[in-house]
Amino acid sequence: MLFSSVSFLYYYLPILLIVYFIVPNRYKNAVLLIFSLFFYFFGESVYISILLISTVADYLHGLGIEAYRGTKVAKAILVSSVLINLGLLMLFKYSAFFVQNINALFHAQLPLLGLTLPLGISFYTFQTMSYTIDVYRGEVKAQRNFIDFAAYVTMFPQLVAGPIVRYCDIEPQLRADNRHNSGAAGAGRFDFDGFAWGVGRFMAGLGKKVILANSLGELSKLLYASAEPSVLLYWTAMAAFSLQIYFDFSGYSDMAVGLGRMLGFSFLENFNYPFIADSLTEFWRRWHISLGGWFRDYVYIPLGGSRGGLILRLRNILCVWMLTGFWHGACWNYVLWGLYFGVLLMLEKLFVGRALSRAPKLLRHFYTLLLLSFSFVIFGTEELPLLGMRLFGMFGFSAQGGALPLFNEFTFYHLKSSAWLLLLCVVLATPLPMKGYQALQGLCGRYRLSAVLLSAAELVLMLLLLIVCTAYIVDSSFNPFLYFRF
């Protein structure tokens, strides 16, 4: 089930909210669990058993680690948990990749298992692994209530595409009495402002996905499929895809954060205007923040982090980025993408970073966007020959070895017709709209305009956005979020 679907917006979500706020606090997590399992079953009926196996296994492993804390038995239980989680991930996500490459390399004929990728397995695997690791480290206590733990693992807002919500970040919120939006049926209070904020955040994410990301995706596919390539065509297609994946994934994260707040949970932010970064290091502090934090805390730091000298530090960076690339998909372009960033980030730390710090901000920003441009082409092109053609095309070389025109009539026509979309998306990818909204709030306060008027205007805008998004959804074909395949 997609957040951007009629069935979710007009049936699933309203029914969930009504039931959730009617029942007493002690039943809220059970309601959340039931609805979350239904949400997952609706989109992945075949592999819901894998989600349940992972949930039960890590619940039991957490209890075992707690019971034998400080002993070798606890460490053995932790190893068992990690092996089960990674084993499931390797089996379903990477087995075909390894078999195909072994067959190609050694001229073998190993059979493919024919397994498809379970929805969200990359995200909930990392969540449950972080839980058992944190229990072993003593950073959290094992959850003894299975309903509460299962509600955390299967929580539908972030289940299939993140952000990666760690147990330690929301453990207090799993007790319904601690959630502001507990409602009148329990001891908690209903936080109307928080609920309204969640609705607004959800609607912003919905608009990002349905109106912007889907339109950008159509433009990118159209340009890349052209039989009349040009240099400008390749750069425009790259820009459209880059913005598409940003609005698609950040839109999903916005919807997840908004839905969480509507239910009384506060999830950490996953994006912070990454395209305004003036170095690749800063970009990765702003893009997919939950994944970067996970690899930092559970891979980079355990490997030694920045301790142990320059060689070990560079090794750790390279290991993290190879794994980051491979996490995104069982294909060589993702490995190449991870190595690309690993090498560039190492160079930034060794040489480029010092030079950048003395360069004008505009030059630093140009440097970052230029290198990001090639990374998005690598990320979005799984076929290596096609990847080479697109990268060479950006520099004016055709697949036949000749030179490409700078632009042609086909490129000019589509660039002119989509200029408004690209320009709008560029502006919306910056903090300017938020600063404008905050300035409007300040003006209302300065001239003593009623906050009620501003709230009423926001409500009208959200209703109009819902109507427009619904029209787009009804008129479009099935268009899932890009990160569903990861």
Residues with a known catalytic role:
328
Instruction: Name which of 159, 172, 365 is nearest 253 in CA terms.
Output: 159
Count the neighbouring beta carbons within 10 Å of the beta carbon of residue 116.
11
Dihedral angle at the C-alpha atoms of 319, 321, 327, 328, nearest 10 degrees?
Answer: -160
What's the rounded Cα separation, in Å, for the pair 392 and 432?
Answer: 34
- Which tokens sit at 41? 């079953």
Only one residue has tokens 């190595």, namely 339
Helix orientation angle between 13-22 and 25-43, rounded to the nearest 10 degrees = 160
157: preceding bond cis by omega (within 30 degrees): no
Q: Got the DSSP string for 212-227? A: IIHHHHHHHHHHHT-S
Closest to 173 measured CA to CA, from 269, 40, 35, 267: 267
Tell me how far the alpha carbon of residue 382 is from its chain's centroid.
19
Coil/strand/helix, residue 3: coil
- Alpha helices in 380-450, H assignment, sequence order: 384-394, 409-428, 432-446
Within 10 A of 145 (CB to CB), how many other CB atoms are there? 12
Tell me how crowded residue 360 is: count the other CB atoms within 10 A of its CB. 9
The H helix count followed by the E strand count for the chain is 23, 0
Residues ≥6 apart with Cβ < 8 Å to 213: 244, 245, 247, 248, 251
Half-sphere exposure of residue 222: CA atoms within 13 angstroms, side-chain side:
15
